[in-house]
């Protein structure tokens, strides 16, 4: 076999280095990529009406400094209610109604989820990769957690919906704008 490679001008050293480089690229691509299932797990039951549990919810600023909690009143009154065109987080809050939702109704199907936010609008999320406006959306299941990844130029929003128990759901939304990141943790209780 080595004679065949020599015939084409390849040295065994070059081949070894190429194979090693290829293996490293595959390793790092595998570690950084998120692979989501496109079918709802049978035992998962997110469907129903949910009401925000404000005392268990919060907004955090992330970054190089230590993670710190920021009160909802400061974020909503200082940053969202008094819009600053230069603040990309204000822009994101208009596309992601989960950030302001006090109630949510979930309709879960085998290959999609309907999310009706109040205040907000109804959003149909089809599992797999899709384009929605300026967002590239990748949605599906990581174990029993519904994950919705939305990316645009310099922006990334990752929402993770998880059941804490049959009557409590946690939604964690990580918003990254260039080097700045915020995390919104919302807890919802099942409504009758």
Please report, for the domain that includes residue 161, its CATH number: 2.40.128.20
CB under 8 Å to 93, separation ≥6 — which residues? 80, 99, 100
Number of domains composing the chain = 2
Residue range of the domain that includes 128: 48-190
- Whether 182 maps to a domain, the answer reads yes
pLDDT surpasses 70 at 112:
yes
Q: Is residue 99 within 8 Å of 184, Cβ to Cβ?
A: yes
Q: Is residue 125 within 8 Å of 113, Cβ to Cβ?
A: yes
Residue 73 pLDDT class (50, 70, 90 cuts)? very low
pLDDT at residue 28 in the model: 42
Q: Are residues 137 and 186 in the same domain?
A: yes
Q: Structure pTM?
A: 0.72
- Whether 77 maps to a domain, the answer reads yes
Q: Are residues 108 and 73 in the same domain?
A: yes
Q: Are residues 18 and 77 in the same domain?
A: no
Kindly list the distances between the CA atom of residue 161 and the CA atoms of 58, 59, 148, in Å, as whole numbers in the listed order.
Answer: 15, 16, 9
Q: Are residues 28 and 123 in the same domain?
A: no
- Whether 43 maps to a domain, the answer reads no
Residue 82: CB atoms within 10 Å: 10
Residue 93 pLDDT class (50, 70, 90 cuts)? confident
Q: Phi, psi (5° rounding) for residue 162?
A: -140, 140
- Whether 97 maps to a domain, the answer reads yes
- Whether 40 maps to a domain, the answer reads no
Q: Are residues 26 and 52 in the same domain?
A: no
Q: Are residues 75 and 152 in the same domain?
A: yes
């Amino acid at each position: 076999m080595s004679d065949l490679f020599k015939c084409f001008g390849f040295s065994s050293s070059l081949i070894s280095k190429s194979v090693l480089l290829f293996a490293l690229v595959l390793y790092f691509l595998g570690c950084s990529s998120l692979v989501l299932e496109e079918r709802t797990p049978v035992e998962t039951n997110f469907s129903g009406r949910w009401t925000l549990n404000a005392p268990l919810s919060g907004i955090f600023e992330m970054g190089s400094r230590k993670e710190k909690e920021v009160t909802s009143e400061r974020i909503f009154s200082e940053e969202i209610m008094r819009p600053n065109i230069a603040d990309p987080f204000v822009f994101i809050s208009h596309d992601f109604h989960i950030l302001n939702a006090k109630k949510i109704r979930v309709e879960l199907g085998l290959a999609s989820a309907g999310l009706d936010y109040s205040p907000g609008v109804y959003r149909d999320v089809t599992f797999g990769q899709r384009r929605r406006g300026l967002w590239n959306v990748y949605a599906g299941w990581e174990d029993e957690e519904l994950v919705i990844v939305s990316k645009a130029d310099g922006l990334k929003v990752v929402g993770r919906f998880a059941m804490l128990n049959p009557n409590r759901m946690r939604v964690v939304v990580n918003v990254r704008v260039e080097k700045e990141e915020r995390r919104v943790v919302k807890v919802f209780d099942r409504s009758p």
